[in-house]
Amino acid sequence: MAYTLDGFSADCRTALSEDPGPAGRETVRAQLCQLLMEDVFVDAHCGPDIAPGTSLLYEDEELGFQIVAHIMGDAYDGGPHDHGASWAIYGQAVGYTDMTEWARLDDGSKEGVAEIKKAKEYRLQRGEAGIFDDFKIHSIRYPTGARFIRVTGVDLSTITRARFNPEKKTISVSKRENFTGAV
């Protein structure tokens, strides 16, 4: 039987209700990998006929998590950032996304100052997904036409999140719209 958005949403709800921490998120990540190998799902929500942009596929009214499709028209090389007090799971549907995880070197005691360095780099291909826990600094890069699903713990536009500039050793924290990347 095919795995669907409805089945995935229900499984996410169950996993996160039973354990909203790392174990529940890992279950969601594994289930997202399964969903992204379903051609019917990918064609319907990330297929070639879908216009570039983002679309909210599901938002859980009780738990607050969101499932968002990201259909990228243009290549993108984003800077280091975090998702504030929310986790995010990125899962690749079409093409690939290069992920970079960053480590913060300073203690955060000086407002506007942050020293970070690259800690880990890897590529997500179709059917692969990665987790970024609360305040985990990361950056993404993808080619024209990449398409991915992102599951977040909350609507990211409702919380403050940080952007980092590793060359200038700066950090800025603010509320901003949900990620749209290059469309």
Tell me the C-alpha distance between 181 and 24, whole Å.
27
64 φψ region: left (φ > 0), alpha (ψ -120 to 50), beta (else): left
Q: Per the structure block, which two tokens stand in for 156?
A: 């990211």
Q: Average pLDDT, stretch 78-104?
A: 96
* Segment 111-145, tens digit of pLDDT: 999 999 999 999 999 999 999 999 999 999 999 99
Q: Is the pLDDT of residue 176 over 80?
A: no
* Segment 42-69, tens digit of pLDDT: 999 999 999 999 999 999 999 999 999 9
The reported pLDDT for the residue numbered 180 is: 55
All structural domains of the chain = 5-175 (2.60.120.10)
Q: Average pLDDT, stretch 87-100?
A: 97
The reported pLDDT for the residue numbered 183 is: 42
